[in-house]
Amino acid sequence: MTTPDSFQTWSSAHQARFENVLRRLLPQPDIAPQRLHDAMRYSVLDGGKRVRPLLAFAAGELVGADIARVDIAATAVELIHAYSLVHDDMPCMDNDVLRRGRPTCHVEYDEATALLVGDSLQSLAFQLLAEHTLNNDAALQLDMVKLLASASGSRGMAGGQAIDLDSVGKQLSLPELEFMHIHKTGALIRAAVLLGAQCGSDKGRGVALDEAQLGRLHHFGKCAGLAFQVVDDVLDSEADTATLGKTAGKDAKQDKPTYVTLLGVQAAKKMAAELHRDALDALSGFGAGARRLRELADFIVLRKF
């Protein structure tokens, strides 16, 4: 329902506002090197559900964080996500031509440019996290840089992609598949939640979370991230390319293990429902402030695209 207070209204307003934040923070297209900057904007703007930024905004609301600070943290996470898609789509990885209903970066530009776009988006993410004040305590802000870096690297997202590459044609066990996705998708989703919350943990500003509360947010992020992937696999097996805006049925065709190929559709859906419940349980102590996080958990599991 689209009431002034509904999730639909909240998420649409944040998505629209965040698009302008991205337009402002990405290098302007008239600055040299123009083709690279143009390709960076092409790869980030006007696309995607912005699930990670929305999670950061929802976590920021939980702690009463300054939204201008969360904008920066959300942008950093989204730039890491966007760079991973650009590199993932390249011929040496998934070799995909369609993303968010448009030609992928290396198709629209060229492979070398796509490589540099991804590299530059990653650098920009860390530049933004370092050059804006996100927390009155600079040492805590350094922790935020460390969090995003470790979520992105060889023991986070990029490591998950490496495991994914190695898994083609193999029969993975459920724990192995889970290990892969906790890295490939989960690490960055968890980072989005925690970075949003860490913008608000200043003394004297907003609500400071204690270790136990951060631990519960961590668990929420883990469950939500895994649920996101399970639902992705279900949608990928059921939807068509037009609805997804990306190539459907790709993983099964590439002989990659998915929750659907491993468990079947029904058991995968049951797993998503269990992760959904676990995610909501993790938020149970937070009260009304966690409303948008709860709604995002609902959205992640119930979405149709």
Distance CA 261, CA 234 (A): 10
We find the least distance from the C-beta atom of residue 39 to its own copies, in angstroms, to be 9
* Of the residues 21, 22, 36, 59, which one makes contact with its own copies according to CB under 8 A: 36
Q: Provide φ and ψ at 295, rounded to 5°.
A: -65, -35
Q: Given the complex with its own copies, which of 54 and 125 has the nearer CB atom?
A: 125
CB 266 within 8 A of CB 234: no
Token pair listed for 112: 């070398």
Residues in the interface with its own copies (CB under 8 A) total 56
Distance CA 10, CA 4 (A): 8
**Choices 27-35, 46-54, 231-239, 281-289; region in contact with its own copies by CB under 8 A:** 27-35
* Of the residues 53, 156, 196, 257, which one makes contact with its own copies according to CB under 8 A: 156
Q: Provide φ and ψ at 103, rounded to 5°.
A: -60, 140
Which ranges in the chain belong to alpha helices (H)? 7-25, 34-44, 51-63, 67-88, 105-108, 111-131, 138-152, 157-167, 174-181, 187-198, 211-238, 241-244, 250-253, 259-263, 265-282, 291-302
Q: Provide φ and ψ at 102, rounded to 5°.
A: -135, 165
We find the least distance from the C-beta atom of residue 140 to its own copies, in angstroms, to be 8
We find the least distance from the C-beta atom of residue 29 to its own copies, in angstroms, to be 11
We find the least distance from the C-beta atom of residue 82 to its own copies, in angstroms, to be 13
The reply on whether position 203 binds its own copies by CB under 8 A is no
We find the least distance from the C-beta atom of residue 280 to its own copies, in angstroms, to be 31
* Of the residues 17, 23, 24, 155, which one makes contact with its own copies according to CB under 8 A: 155
The mark string for 44-83 relative to its own copies (x by CB under 8 A, - otherwise) is: ---------------------------------------x
The mark string for 107-146 relative to its own copies (x by CB under 8 A, - otherwise) is: ---xxxxxxx-xxx-xxx-xx-xxx-----xxx-xxx-xx
The reply on whether position 86 binds its own copies by CB under 8 A is no
Q: Which residues of 258-283 are buried (b: 16+ CB within 10 A; e: fewer)?
A: bbbbbbeeeebbebbeebbebbbebb
Q: Given the complex with its own copies, which of 61 and 251 has the nearer CB atom?
A: 251
Distance CA 219, CA 280 (A): 10
We find the least distance from the C-beta atom of residue 240 to its own copies, in angstroms, to be 27
User: Taking each helix axis from N to C terminus, what angle separates 67-88 and 138-152, rounded to the nearest 10 degrees?
Assistant: 20
Distance CA 154, CA 183 (A): 9
Distance CA 206, CA 114 (A): 40
Q: Given the complex with its own copies, which of 26 and 63 has the nearer CB atom?
A: 26
We find the least distance from the C-beta atom of residue 139 to its own copies, in angstroms, to be 4
Contact set with its own copies (CB under 8 A): 27, 31-33, 35-37, 40, 83-84, 87, 90, 92-93, 106, 110-116, 118-120, 122-124, 126-127, 129-131, 137-139, 141-143, 145-146, 148-150, 152-156, 158-159, 161-163, 165-166
